[in-house]
Structure 1
Amino acid sequence: MPTYKSRFRLVPLSLTAAVISASLLVTGCSGQDQPAGKTGVASLPPVAGSEASRSASGAGASASPGESPGVQLRLDDTAEKRTQIRKIYAACLARNGMGSNANGQVTDAVRRKAEEACKDKAPLQPPELDPVKNPHYDEDVVAVVKCLVSHGVPAVVVPATDSQPMSWTQTSADVPDDYDQINAACTVKSFGSHS
């Protein structure tokens, strides 16, 4: 299962949508991916007619056969753009029954109905971060760690297991002040090098 690198730990991607939507609903959709005053990596312009250009316009991207429809995130999307896409998805889920209630719980049936109604707005992780879709995934993970370490981030490769692909983690919470920019730049550089 691919992982998404958060500031201090790795989070399975399959949980990302649920965690994001739940946290945005609980916090009133006010969460930020980066601290105030810090900017993200500049987004490259998408190729006209590509999946990325459809997602860049904010519209749901059409899915390939066998894939879930949704909004395809790009490796180089800014934190602001990712936040906007996630807020749109969380708002759709809320409109379809996953809003706050007295105990903060929703039934599986309500969750499935809301997810089905909002599937065209669901954020899809960049294919480069999917070890099934990226034939260079392990090589890219090693490159990310080398890049992070070269910028003073204490990071190590976590070997693959039977149930988890190779990933990376930090060995300390003591990171440079511009960690978010370093992490974003290293991820784009390492995972985008084969595009």
Structure 2
Amino acid sequence: MLNLFTRAAVFTSVGTVGLVVLTACGGGGTGGDADKDLQGEVASLTTPAAGGGSASPSADPDAGRPQIRLDSTQDEINRLFEAWTACLEEHGAEKKYKTDPNSPGVKACKGKEPLDPPELDPAKNPDYDDDVRIMVKCMNEHGIKSVVMEEGWGLEDGAGLNAPGYTESLTTCQVKAFGGDE
């Protein structure tokens, strides 16, 4: 079984894969039919209510943060984390303070910190336990020895991280298991 630090690396890798997907789906116009349908449309902004208050304050502290998707590539995830890390560095946050929520750098960059896919959060995914079992089965079918653990899934040992096709298998299995495509 993996030790605590190796498991953390695996879970970070899983979250990172999801982050990459989000980045791939963003982008500008394609010049296709959807763009033609929007020609002549004007975007509108909500203006503050009288008295200077916000017209619709957001109760969600994660609103606007970049969202990693299940099918994000590792490059996409890396770009999202690099943007967040660059912000932390610009605001003087040292590595040891990146996880300290009271650090001024962390507070200033909270809106750039990538969110893991909601499907990977047991509190947001009612099928999480079943999805974990599908994930482990899929990874094992791809030759990456994986096990169900108390809090999710993990690799049988650290060697799985270096197995040929690990990243591709991780993405494929994550989409299959947590995306509902079994």
TM-score interval, normalised by the smaller of the two chains: 0.5 to 0.7
Task: Give TM-score, length-normalised by structure 2.
Answer: 0.63
Task: Give TM-score, length-normalised by structure 1.
Answer: 0.59
Whole-angstrom distance in 2 between the partners of 1:12 and 1:178: 17
Q: Which runs of 4+ in 1 moved over 4 A?
A: 40-46, 104-111
- Tell me if the contact between 1:85 and 1:123 (Cα under 8 Å) persists in the aligned partners: yes
SS of match in other structure, 1:88: helix
Q: Which has the higher helix share?
A: 2
Residues 134-171 of structure 1 deviation map (CA, whole Å, 9 limit, x = unaligned): 0110000000001011111211111x3xxxx3x11222
Whole-angstrom distance in 1 between the partners of 2:23 and 2:100: 38
Whole-angstrom distance in 1 between the partners of 2:23 and 2:112: 20
Cα distance change on mapping 1:136 and 1:96 into 2, 3 Å = same
Number of residue-to-residue matches in the alignment:
140
- Tell me if the contact between 1:97 and 1:111 (Cα under 8 Å) persists in the aligned partners: no
Which of 152, 155, 164 aligns to 2:146? It is: 155
The residue aligned with 2:116 is: 125
**Is 1:82 aligned to residue 77 of structure 2?**
yes
Q: Which has the higher strand share?
A: 1
RMSD: 3.7
Identity %: 33
The residue aligned with 2:164 is: 177
- Tell me if the contact between 2:6 and 2:158 (Cα under 8 Å) persists in the aligned partners: no
* Contiguous gaps of at least 5 residues in structure 1: 1-7, 17-32, 35-39, 47-62
Task: Report 1 or 2 for greater relative contact order, CA contacts < 8 Å, sequence distance ≥ 6.
Answer: 2
Kindly report which structure 2 residues correspond to 1:27-38, keeping only aligned pairs within 5 A, or say none.
none
* Contiguous gaps of at least 5 residues in structure 2: 27-56
The residue aligned with 1:24 is: none
Cα distance change on mapping 1:154 and 1:64 into 2, 3 Å = farther
Higher Cα Rg: structure 1 or 2?
2
- Tell me if the contact between 2:22 and 2:76 (Cα under 8 Å) persists in the aligned partners: no
Whole-angstrom distance in 2 between the partners of 1:177 and 1:42: 24
The residue aligned with 2:52 is: none
Amino acid at match of 2:174: T
**Is 1:68 aligned to residue 68 of structure 2?**
no
